[in-house]
């Protein structure tokens, strides 16, 4: 995780959205570790793409989610305790939804891809 955040800092060093991007990356990577076959000693891949005022972050895991996750278009209510029964956990995608302009997921046999896009127009990119 530390390596991926360092790569992101090098990729967009002067962007005012760097803190947001790091948090989005951390939440997507944490979900890969906690909710897919990438857990424990598993692996996941991270990629970044910058184009026309947009940073895209992708985290590709080893698939087979351990628990079902909400679809990206489903509204989150942070005050709904039934939606977050585990107290301190369960809010990663809420954070991603709050910080990203767009986000979502794609899956295929053997892997899942979670992605988020953040505006970088104020970063001179």
Give the pLDDT confidence score for residue 117 in this predicted structure. 96
How long, in residues, is the chain?
125
Give the pLDDT score at 79. 56
SS3 at position 27: helix
How many Cα atoms sit within 13 Å of 118 on the Cβ side?
Answer: 26
DSSP count for the chain of H helices, then E strands: 3, 4
What separation, in Å, do the N-terminal and C-terminal C-alpha atoms of the chain show? 25
What domains can be seen in the chain, in order of their start residue?
A: 2-123 (3.30.565.10)
Task: For residue 107, name the pLDDT band (cuts at 50, 70, 90).
Answer: confident
For residue range 61-88, list pLDDT tens digits in order. 887 754 455 555 454 555 555 655 555 6
Pairing of strands 54-61, 111-119: antiparallel
Instruction: Report the predicted TM-score, pTM, of the whole model to 2 decimal places.
Output: 0.77
């Amino acid at each position: 995780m530390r390596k991926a955040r360092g790569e992101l800092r090098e990729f967009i060093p002067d962007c005012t959205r760097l803190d947001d991007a790091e948090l989005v990356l951390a939440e997507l990577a944490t979900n890969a570790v906690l909710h897919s076959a990438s857990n424990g000693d598993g692996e996941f891949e991270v990629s970044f793409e910058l184009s026309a005022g947009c940073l895209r972050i992708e985290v590709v895991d080893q698939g087979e989610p351990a628990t079902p996750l909400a679809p990206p278009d489903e509204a989150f209510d942070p005050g709904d305790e039934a939606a977050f029964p585990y107290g301190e956990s369960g809010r990663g995608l809420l954070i991603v939804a709050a910080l990203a302009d767009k986000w979502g997921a794609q899956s295929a046999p053997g892997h899942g891809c979670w992605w988020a896009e953040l505006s970088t127009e104020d970063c001179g990119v």
